[in-house]
Structure 1
Amino acid sequence: MNTILPTSEPAAEELRRLAAAAEPALRARPDLARTVLNLARHQRRRRRLGRAAASVGGGFVVLTTLAAATLLGRAEYFTVPQPSQNMESTVRVGERVVFSKKLLPARGDVVVVKLAENGHEYDSIMRVVALPGDTIGCPAEVTGQCEAIVVNGVTVPEDYLGTTVTDPFPTSTVPAHMVFLLGDNRPQANDSRYIGPVKLTEVTGVAVHIKDSEGRTRAVPGAPAHDGPGNRDNVDPAGPVPPPGVSETR
């Protein structure tokens, strides 16, 4: 025969509280297992998406790099190093000139042209002094020296030359589709006085600015002002200098 021990009211209340607290653990919800499984699947899916995003991000970087490499040579702007003294002191040897492919050359512009000597093709940087149909010459004064070049009968000031003297050369008319080019270092430059006018199709770029060896940028003296590349514009790096044995000076 079991004996029932009397229970005080506070003790009974404590037992009821403990039983109520233990009830959820003793009587689990029927859908608890399904909820746990769904949570696990969701976490696995998030991990997969994270890995896929990282993969896509890496692929985007690769594609961007490939696109940049593919577009090399297709930018509007490109850089050419000055290999000779034919443009001293406007452009010094080793300085880099940034050119635009889209600008049309005007009088005073510094341009880069493709020339060839002894079977070697190279870039030459010179200044446009006359356009197709212009007359150009440097007549000798009574002193035997030429004081200034004359284009279409008008004396052209060239303050950017400093004390450089231009030897006299006869007046001629620039043929159609050609330009007359001079180097700023007149005593040494091998230019249109000796090689004749150059075809416009050989002009590959018009200078927008010059960069010195420290990377500082300056405008092109004596040339019309042109907008240069912006922060988001691509500029192709400097290409090769003329091969050994090829000289732009006389």
Structure 2
Amino acid sequence: MKNKEFFSWIKAIVIAVVLAFTIRTYIFTPIVVDGESMMPTLKNHERIILNKFGIKINDIHRFDIVVFHATKEKDYIKRVIGLPGDHIEYRNDTLYINGEKYEESYLNKSKSEYEKMNQLYTFDFKLEDYTGEEIVPANELFVMGDNRRNSLDSREIGTISIDEIKGKANLVFWPIKDIEILR
């Protein structure tokens, strides 16, 4: 009787470990934000949940927050601004994609602080200024940090391959006072 109970406990523990490993490896992973490039949306040392399930180019949308392999040692977290085929331009602190004006409400507070000082929050540029390309190449993304004045992003490192995407940030879960679903 004791042997049967012991093996039942071992079986339950093994199943729990395998499930936890599978979920963490292939579906959801906790990530710690490192740096200030996504301020004010994400703050240094906040903890987020990364959705890794089935990330393909069709699953990535404009303004999603993604984590990607920037180097072999480092992952970056940035916002998707340009999708394949897009022409990106900033003029007078306004985003234009394929000639159409886009509102970036997540930047409103930061932009208004710079407007008070008669400065641009995002300096004027065209995609070709940084990448040499007129449009974002197939299977590539143009990403930027929300802290436009302090972000190492596609303006420096170029477009990123969809194959480098680890997942999409879905939820801030720590600190508890900052819990929110990311859009």
Give the TM-score range, shorter chain.
0.7 to 0.9
Question: Over alpha carbons, which structure has the higher Rg?
Answer: 1
Normalization by structure 1: what TM-score? 0.60
Post-superposition shift, 1:70? 5.0
Report the identity percentage: 26
Match of 1:53 in 2: 4
Amino acid across the alignment from 1:148: T
Post-superposition shift, 1:54? 1.7
Amino acid across the alignment from 2:28: Y
Structure 1 residue corresponding to 2:47, chosen from 96, 119, 132: 96
Correspondence 1:186-197 to 2 at 5 A: 186-197=148-159
Asked if 1:168 is matched to 2:119, the reply is: no
Match of 1:219 in 2: 181
Post-superposition shift, 1:207? 1.6
Root-mean-square deviation (CA, aligned residues, Å) is 2.0
1:191 to 1:153, Cα distance in 2 relative to 1, 3 A: same
1:190 to 1:64, Cα distance in 2 relative to 1, 3 A: same
Query: In structure 1, the residue corresponding to 2:141 is in which secondary structure?
Result: strand
Asked if 1:126 is matched to 2:78, the reply is: yes
CA distance in 2, matches of 1:69, 1:99: 15
Post-superposition shift, 1:149? 1.1
Amino acid across the alignment from 2:44: V
Q: For the Cα contact (< 8 Å) 1:126–1:182, is it kept in 2?
A: yes
Post-superposition shift, 1:134? 0.6
Structure 2, unmatched stretches of 5+, are 112-120, 128-133
Asked if 1:110 is matched to 2:65, the reply is: yes
Match of 1:154 in 2: 100
Normalization by structure 2: what TM-score? 0.80
Query: In structure 2, the residue corresponding to 1:163 is in which secondary structure?
Result: helix
CA distance in 2, matches of 1:176, 1:75: 25
CA distance in 2, matches of 1:111, 1:154: 23
Amino acid across the alignment from 1:149: L
Structure 1, unmatched stretches of 5+, are 1-49, 140-145, 224-250
Q: For the Cα contact (< 8 Å) 1:96–1:211, is it kept in 2?
A: yes
Q: For the Cα contact (< 8 Å) 1:169–1:193, is it kept in 2?
A: no
CA distance in 2, matches of 1:69, 1:218: 23
